[in-house]
């Protein structure tokens, strides 16, 4: 994925992360309160490796919009230009991983449909945050297990469905 990511875009993504984690940290720290944000973040991070698909196109578009908007804001406030940032890729999705990604997307879509307005905002914030942060080399290094986990889950799902006596 060829995205012109800037330091301004990263700052906006970190601000979104902080805006979602701070209330949880100051509150009762119930892990269930992070589920909507984490759901959006999971799809956002997987979208960065859906090259050639609608999810990849959306992640690239969001990362580009956030970066360009942040660059304009920084230029207007300080008079300086954009500071480009190196990008990396989480890896690749197999056909099996793609199927699990679609299953996750459907699940998150159902959460959006049935969730409260605040939950929908948290899901969107998680997606936007990790559509940007999921391109950073340091975050990629931390999440290097994620695509392989999705790919393996897809292989396990296929093995279960094809198993003799699997589904009756």
Across the range 44-65, mean pLDDT stands at 95
The model's pLDDT over 128-151, given as tens digits with 9 standing for 90+, comes to: 999 999 999 999 999 999 999 999
State the burial class of residue 150 (Cβ atoms within 10 Å of its Cβ: 0-12, 13-18, 19+).
buried
Report how far residue 112's alpha carbon sits from residue 54's, in angstroms, rounded to the nearest whole number. 18
More confident residue, 162 or 112: 112
Of 129, 138, 142, the C-alpha closest to 14 is 129
Q: What is the pTM (predicted TM-score) of this model? A: 0.93
So what's the pLDDT on residue 163? 85
Q: Which long-range contacts (CB under 8 A, 24 or more apart) does 99-102 make?
A: 99/154, 99/157, 99/158, 100/150, 100/151, 100/153, 100/154, 100/157, 101/43, 101/46, 101/50, 101/55, 101/150
Helix or strand or coil: residue 43?
Answer: helix
């Amino acid at each position: 994925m060829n995205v012109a990511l800037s330091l301004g875009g990263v700052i906006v993504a970190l601000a979104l992360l902080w805006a979602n984690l701070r209330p949880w940290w100051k509150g009762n720290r119930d892990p269930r309160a992070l589920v909507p944000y984490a759901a959006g973040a999971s799809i956002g991070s997987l979208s960065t490796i859906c090259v050639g698909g609608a999810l990849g196109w959306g992640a690239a578009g969001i990362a580009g919009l956030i970066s360009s908007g942040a660059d304009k804001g920084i230029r207007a406030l300080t008079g300086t230009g954009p500071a480009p940032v190196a990008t990396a890729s989480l890896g690749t999705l197999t056909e099996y991983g793609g199927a699990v990604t679609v299953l996750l997307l459907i699940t998150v879509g159902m959460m959006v449909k049935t969730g409260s307005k605040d939950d929908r905002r948290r899901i969107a914030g998680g997606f936007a945050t990790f559509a940007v942060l999921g391109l950073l080399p340091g975050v990629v290094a931390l999440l290097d297990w994620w695509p392989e986990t999705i790919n393996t889950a897809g292989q396990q799902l296929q093995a279960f469905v094809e198993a003799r006596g699997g589904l009756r």
